[in-house]
Amino acid sequence: MKTSLPSSVLRLIKEIQENVPKNSKELAGILQNHSVIREEILPFHTFNHSAKESYGRRELIRNETFCIYLMSWCPGDFTAIHDHGTTQWGCVLALDDFTHRLYQLSEDKLELKDNRPFLKGQTAAVYNNVIHMMGNAGKNNALSIHIYGTSDSQQQVARDTRIFYPELGQMTYTQGAAYRLHPENMPERLYDFPGLDSAALEDYFNLTEHHRQGVSTFKTLH
Ligand SMILES: [Fe+2]
């Protein structure tokens, strides 16, 4: 396995360290000028992730201000619906094409805000109250770069993330990944949440068909 990061990633890290962005828009500008080369980062993939991890996740760097992950998506891999906790600024860079959903809270329900695809070369802003879900509905493996940052030296980045489980009508908080519901990583503490409106719920189950077997297994066992 390769251990030294590729030059395009090292240049990106150096630029963020020297010109710490104040918001996601500034970070997106940095990414436009210091994009990551897919072929260089490919050896760091985690396409062989376990079934309980609904996508592959590899930390490339973490310091007090920001962290960068390479996410690896096999066909059918999706995140849960989630927000971004303590992240104050951040961006996702698509190295391949993705399915993407943005949600908004309206009258106590999560409803769809945007269902446009997230395409190769595009960036998407992510910060604390952005609620979204992304995944690979294509036929080939896919990669994306995720950067999460904070301007608050008292807080770690990407902590206290809310994960929503429409299957259960409940949510939880995590300190890391936004994996979908799976019997082997069921959180200890669950909280009620109002749920998705009917259109968003139907869309959610259509998107995540590939993983529903795991959910039915959970219901059988518990
Ligand atoms: Fe996210």
pLDDT in tens, 76-134: 999 999 999 889 999 999 999 999 999 998 877 899 999 999 999 999 999 888 999 99
pLDDT at 89: 95
Cα of 132 vs centre of ligand 1, distance in Å, is: 6
Please tell me the distance from the alpha carbon of residue 189 to that of residue 191, in angstroms, as a whole number: 7
pLDDT at 197: 92
Residue 222 above 50 pLDDT?
no
Domain housing 73: 7-221
In a domain, 204, yes or no: yes
What's the pTM?
A: 0.90
Cα of 3 vs centre of ligand 1, distance in Å, is: 25
CB atoms inside a 10 Å sphere around CB 63 = 12
pLDDT at 215: 42
Q: Which residues of 70-83 are buried (b: 16+ CB within 10 A; e: fewer)?
A: bbbbbebbbbbbbb
Pairing mode, if any, of strands 99-106 and 89-94?
unpaired
Residue with the two structure tokens 């409940």: 170
Cα of 118 vs centre of ligand 1, distance in Å, is: 13
Tens-digit pLDDT profile for residues 42-72: 999 999 999 999 999 999 999 999 999 999 9
Cα of 138 vs centre of ligand 1, distance in Å, is: 19
In a domain, 194, yes or no: yes
Number of structural domains (the chain) is 1
In a domain, 1, yes or no: no
Cα of 194 vs centre of ligand 1, distance in Å, is: 20
Cα of 82 vs centre of ligand 1, distance in Å, is: 6
Q: Please report, for the domain that includes residue 144, its CATH number.
A: 2.60.120.10
Cα of 188 vs centre of ligand 1, distance in Å, is: 22
In a domain, 2, yes or no: no
In a domain, 209, yes or no: yes
Cα of 133 vs centre of ligand 1, distance in Å, is: 7
Tens-digit pLDDT profile for residues 138-173: 999 999 999 999 988 777 777 889 999 998 999 999
Please tell me the distance from the alpha carbon of residue 26 to that of residue 89, in angstroms, as a whole number: 9
In a domain, 53, yes or no: yes
Would you mind telling me the total number of residues written for the chain in this entry? 222
Cα of 198 vs centre of ligand 1, distance in Å, is: 22
In a domain, 50, yes or no: yes
Cα of 24 vs centre of ligand 1, distance in Å, is: 13
